[in-house]
Amino acid sequence: MSSITGTKEWAGKNINIQTGCEHECRYCYAKSMALRFSRVEACNWKTTIIDRKKVEKGYSKYKGTVMFPSTHDITPANVEECLVVLDKLLRSGNRVLIVSKPHLDCVKLLCQKLSDYKTQILFRFTIGSADDELLSYWEPMAPKFNERIASLEHAFTQGFQTSVSSEPMLDRHIDIVIDKARPFVTDAIWLGAANRLANIIPRNCPGDQEALRKAAELKQLIDTTYIHGLYARYKEDPIIKWKDTLKKVLGIPASEEPGLDQ
């Protein structure tokens, strides 16, 4: 079997109910794929369309963990529809990995409505930097750092299983994110590097020279030396896990099965 990369490291099955995403991340792989296959235009990605059929249909039990969502996020605009689908997935006995750049109000609602399914849910909140200026540049419409940490703390204190994805890391200060997040993490903090930016940025941000320059800078920041330094600091830390983008640099064998989450 070929090496497992991207979201397949975490889950064998992804479920989404929306085209487009309000968060408008410049590095968004889902947006770049939608553009590549002419499903949207670059300027339309933030104009979201919920697929009602996917909200209304039934969901059975899948083999392994189900990741929800992977090509959009859970936002105040779609949280009710997301809850309908999550409820169906959980009722069918699925274990669900809920991945989000979290809005605190949405996380409060999810925790309240899904409290009967705590043992089947693992939250994974994306936090690639503690610097709001950087977050605002790369993920312009997503919540800022303090709101993401507050969301993590809320899910943790409500008794849910929690984890963090620092992929992509957006600066060389990921230790700050690790230190702030660690008290509220029951599972893992995943570290990863931005991937395929040279292909994604020209497609997602056509004609944007500043984005191209910042992408080149980011690639230089999270270089082999920085990655090996991180590994030296955290290799014995049981809470830290390494995404495929770092495994490749570090010589760690890639997963051979989807959804092992390791």
Task: Summarize as ranges the residues that interact with ligand SF4 (CB under 6 A).
Answer: 21, 23-25, 28, 30-31, 71-73, 101, 139, 142
Q: Which is nearer to ligand SF4, 117 or 181 (CB)?
A: 181
Closest contact distance (angstroms) between CB of 141 and ligand SF4 is 8
CA distance 138 to 214: 9
Q: Which is nearer to ligand SF4, 39 or 91 (CB)?
A: 39
Q: Which is nearer to ligand SF4, 142 or 188 (CB)?
A: 142
Q: Which is nearer to ligand SF4, 45 or 117 (CB)?
A: 45
Strand partners, 189: 164, 240
- E strand spans, 59-208: 66-68, 96-100, 121-126, 161-166, 189-191
Closest contact distance (angstroms) between CB of 22 and ligand SF4 is 7
CA distance 123 to 160: 7
Strand partners, 191: 166, 242
Closest contact distance (angstroms) between CB of 55 and ligand SF4 is 18
CA distance 36 to 33: 5
Sign of the CA dihedral 204, 78, 61, 115?
positive
Phi, psi torsion values for 135, nearest 5 degrees: -60, -40
Closest contact distance (angstroms) between CB of 35 and ligand SF4 is 12
Closest contact distance (angstroms) between CB of 143 and ligand SF4 is 10
Distance from the Cα of residue 11 to its chain's centroid = 12
Q: Which is nearer to ligand SF4, 71 or 129 (CB)?
A: 71
